Chains A and B, each alone.
Chain A
């Protein structure tokens, strides 16, 4: 399995998830790894991490600006932004990562069996990104919507 194959599958998966369930058009760019990946303004973001095992093992990290996370949740639930609670927002970010991960593996190879862990919230931007220092290989996608940019980092451990 090449990193590029999984990256392309992940992009297709993200597009599928955000367009099918959130009606959100997006664009991608890949972060080349130069310099520091800065958190959103005011450092307000929601993050979660999901580990997996299978033909290869690793984890994905999804970091979303808080304002966008709330907007996505309201759209997902068909409610006004002011009506959604923090638990629903956190739950939505976790579910997005869950769907993106599962779908990316289906696209990559539907004959392969991957076991997904449960998504876990992560509180610190720097700590979340520093986890991927141990990766054998990795890629980082920047997901651009109209108002905001989210980060998806994929780490292959072995």
Chain B
């Protein structure tokens, strides 16, 4: 089984890094999609079947929390897990992300291992179509 992933971040380099990190994590990824803010993300979600959304919080036009809110209001989108990857680190903000329905949270800067652990929890082990776990144990280079 392969997974389609949407990466939402207004930073082009950060989208590339998150994508590469997920690619080498050993999960069976079907397609990646990208968006630079919540509005664009909703446009992608309207057209594509996604299994996971990885989103920044602080973005122009529509931030990560607003995106999660919008997804939770839609029957077809509300069950898609969302991981927030952000510089925000206050306890209040983290609680807010999780209460709004984020499945998990990672603070930047992050290591590839942190991303892998979150994906492992959300997408599962064998059932998640993960192969080549050993790839991630070798020296990773952004």
CB distance from B131 to the nearest CB of A (A): 21
B90 contacts A99, CB within 8 Å?
no
Residues of A within 8 A of B14 (CB): 91, 95
Q: A34 within 8 Å of B by Cβ?
A: no
The stretch among A103-111, A125-133, A148-156 that forms the contact with chain B is: A103-111
Q: B89 within 8 Å of A by Cβ?
A: yes
- Interface code B119-142, partner A: CB below 8 Å = 1, 0 otherwise? 000000000000000000000011
The stretch among A15-23, A37-45, A136-144 that forms the contact with chain B is: A15-23
B109 contacts A111, CB within 8 Å?
no
Count A/B pairs, Cβ under 8 Å: 82
Given A75-B142, A103-B108, A113 and B92 contact (CB-CB distance below 8 Å): yes
CB distance from B11 to the nearest CB of A (A): 5
Q: B46 within 8 Å of A by Cβ?
A: no
A103 contacts B109, CB within 8 Å?
yes
CB distance from B141 to the nearest CB of A (A): 6
A87 contacts B110, CB within 8 Å?
no
Q: Which residues of chain B from 12 to 67 have a CB within 8 Å of any chain A CB?
A: 12-14, 16-17, 20, 58-60
Q: B2 within 8 Å of A by Cβ?
A: no
Given A88-B13, A102-B89, A78 and B109 contact (CB-CB distance below 8 Å): no
Q: B117 within 8 Å of A by Cβ?
A: no
The interface of chain A, by Cβ under 8 A from chain B, is 16-17, 20-23, 73, 75-78, 87-88, 91-92, 94-95, 98-99, 101-103, 105-106, 110-114, 116, 118
Between-chain CB contacts (< 8 Å), 6 pairs: A17-B108, A22-B142, A77-B142, A102-B89, A103-B108, A111-B90
